[in-house]
Chain A
C-alpha cells in the first residue's frame, strides 16, 4: 500500500501503458479476423462474379484485386498497407476504403453519442426513482416494464416509431437528414433498448453504495434519504457509471447498423450494409477495424476516467 502511495504517479503510467499494449493486441486481432473472413473463407472474385463469370475473367479480377498471391504474402501486404494508411480500395467507388469510413463516421458518432447521453439520463432518473422508493410496488412495476423493453428488437422499435410519428401523426421525418428533427427518431430507436441495461447496472451500483457503512452513519446522524441519494450516493457512482456507459457506446455503434438502415442515415452502419450486400470487401474490412479501434479507445478512456475520478483505484495495484 505504502509502495503504491509513494509511487502513485508511476502506477498510473504503468497501468496506461499496459492497457495501451493490450489495446494494440486487440486491434491487431480485429485485423486478423477481418483478413481471415475475406481471404480464407471467400475470395471476392468468386463472390462478386457468380457463376456466369469465366475462369479467365475470374483470374483477372483476382489479380486486379491482389488475390493471386499466396496467403502469407497477402497478409504482410495487407498489414504493411495499413501502416501506410492504405486500407485497400473500394471496388464500387474506386476510392480509398478507409476514407469512405471516415466520411461516414461523424454521422454515426452524432447518433451514438446523443443516444448514450439520452439513455444514461433516462436510466439515471429511473435509478434515482428506484433508490428512493426501493422495493415499493412502483419500483417492482418499473423493473417489470423495463424487462419488456429489453426484449424489443431495435429494427422493430424503429419501424413502430416511424408508424406512429411519421406515418400517422406526420410529426417527424422517417428517413434522410433534414435538420435536427431527423435526429429524433433514430436517436430514440438507439437509446430506448439501451435504457434497461444501463438501468440494471446503475441500480445495482446505487444500491451497493447505499448499503455502505458511511451511508448508515449518515442516516444515524439524521441526514434525509433525499440528501443521501442526491449528494452522496450519486457522486460515488459517477465513476463506474460513466465507465459502463462508455462501454455501452461501443455496442451502440454496432447497433447503428440496423438503425441507420431503417432511417437511411448516411453513417458507417449504412455503409457497412451496402458494402456487405455488394461484397465490397475492402470497405467491410476497414469498417470492422475502425469499430474495433474505436471500441478499444473508448475502453481505455473509460478506465483512465475511473483512475482520475476515484483516488482509491490509484492505490490498488493495476
Chain B
C-alpha cells in the first residue's frame, strides 16, 4: 500500500463500503432501540383503552396507539427484538447444519451426496411457505418451534453453497499438498475446505436474515406465528388490517419497521458481496 494514501481515502475507495456502513448503522439503531426497550419499565402489552386509536405524533405516543391502546413504538421495539432473535438463531443453526451436511456430502460423495441433492430438489419444488403453513397446523407456535421450522428448510442453501465450493476446492493443489503432508480427511475438511467457503457463507447469511424476518412476520400476520403476549410486527399488521380506513398507522408503522430491518440486512449482504467479490483474489 502506498504510504501517502491516507486512512480516510482508503476506506472510501473500498467497494461496498457505503452499503455496509448504512446497513450496519440502521440495524444497529434498530437493535439498540429494542435492547433499550427491554430495560425500561414498559410493557408492549399494557393497554390504555382511554388512549386507543391515537394517531402518530399525538399525545405522548410518538408512533400512535392501536385499538386496545397499546403503544406502537413500544410494540415495534419489542417486535424488532422478536424478529432479530428468531433471525439470528435460525441463521446460526441453518448455517451450522448446512455447512456440516454440505461439506460432508461433497467430501464423501456417493449415496450421501445423492440423497442430499434430492432433498435440495425437493425443497426447491415445495415452496417453504407451504411447508411452514402445513407444519403450523400441527405445531404450537413458540420461539423454539418457529426456529426449528425456519431452520428445517434454511440449511439447504448453505449446504448447496458449501458443497459447490468443496467440490471445486477439493481438486486444488493446496488440498493435494495437505493430503500428501499426511493431514487427515477431517483435518482437510475443517482446516482447509470449510474455511475456504467462508466468504460466500457470510454473504448468504446476511441476506438470509432478511428472508427469515419476512417469513416470521408473514406467518404471524396469517395468525400462525407469534401471538400476544409475544410482540410480533406481523401480528400488529394483521390487527391494523381491519382498521385501515379509520387508523391507517396501525398497519403502516410495523410494516415500515420490517422494511427497514430487511433492507438494512440486505445492504450488509450486498456490501459484503461487493467487497469480497473484488478482494477474493487476495483472500484465497
- Contacts from A to B (Cβ < 8 Å): 22, 25-27, 29-30, 33-34, 37-38, 41-42, 47, 147-148, 150-156, 159-160, 162-163, 167, 250-251, 253-255, 257-258, 261-262, 272-273, 276-277, 279, 281, 284, 287-288, 291-292, 295-296, 299
- Contacts from B to A (Cβ < 8 Å): 118-119, 121-122, 124-131, 133-139, 210, 214, 217-218, 221-224, 234, 237, 240-241, 244-245, 248, 251-252, 255, 258-263, 266-267, 270
Docked pose: A251 CA to B125 CA in angstroms: 9
Q: A153-B214, A156-B251, A291-B127 are in contact. Are A261 and B222 (CB under 8 A)?
A: yes
Q: Which residues of chain A come closer than 8 Å to B125, judged between CB atoms?
A: 26-27, 29-30, 250, 292, 295-296, 299
Query: Closest residue of chain A to B127, judged by CB?
Result: A254
Number of A-B contacts (CB under 8 A): 146
Contacting residue for B138 out of A27, A33, A47, A287, CB 8 A? A47
Secondary structure type dominating chain A contacts: helix
In the assembled complex, the CB of A60 is this many whole angstroms from the nearest CB of chain B, namely 21
Docked pose: A41 CA to B261 CA in angstroms: 33
Whether the Cβ atoms of A159 and B241 lie closer than 8 Å is yes
Query: Closest residue of chain B to A253, judged by CB?
Result: B127
Q: A26-B121, A147-B266, A150-B262 are in contact. Are A257 and B129 (CB under 8 A)?
A: yes
Whether the Cβ atoms of A284 and B127 lie closer than 8 Å is no
Contacting residue for B255 out of A33, A160, A254, A273, CB 8 A? A160
Contacting residue for B217 out of A153, A163, A272, A284, CB 8 A? A153
Whether the Cβ atoms of B130 and A257 lie closer than 8 Å is yes
Docked pose: A292 CA to B119 CA in angstroms: 13
Docked pose: A176 CA to B127 CA in angstroms: 25
Whether the Cβ atoms of A279 and B218 lie closer than 8 Å is no
In the assembled complex, the CB of A293 is this many whole angstroms from the nearest CB of chain B, namely 9
Q: Which residues of chain A come closer than 8 Å to B237, judged between CB atoms?
A: 153, 155-156, 159
Contacting residue for A160 out of B129, B217, B252, CB 8 A? B252
Whether the Cβ atoms of B118 and A151 lie closer than 8 Å is no
Q: Which residues of chain B come closer than 8 Å to A147, judged between CB atoms?
A: 263, 266-267, 270
Contacting residue for B258 out of A41, A153, A296, CB 8 A? A153
Q: A147-B270, A159-B244, A273-B133 are in contact. Are A33 and B139 (CB under 8 A)?
A: no
Q: Which residues of chain A come closer than 8 Å to B137, judged between CB atoms?
A: 37-38, 42, 47, 276, 279, 281, 284
Whether the Cβ atoms of B138 and A288 lie closer than 8 Å is no
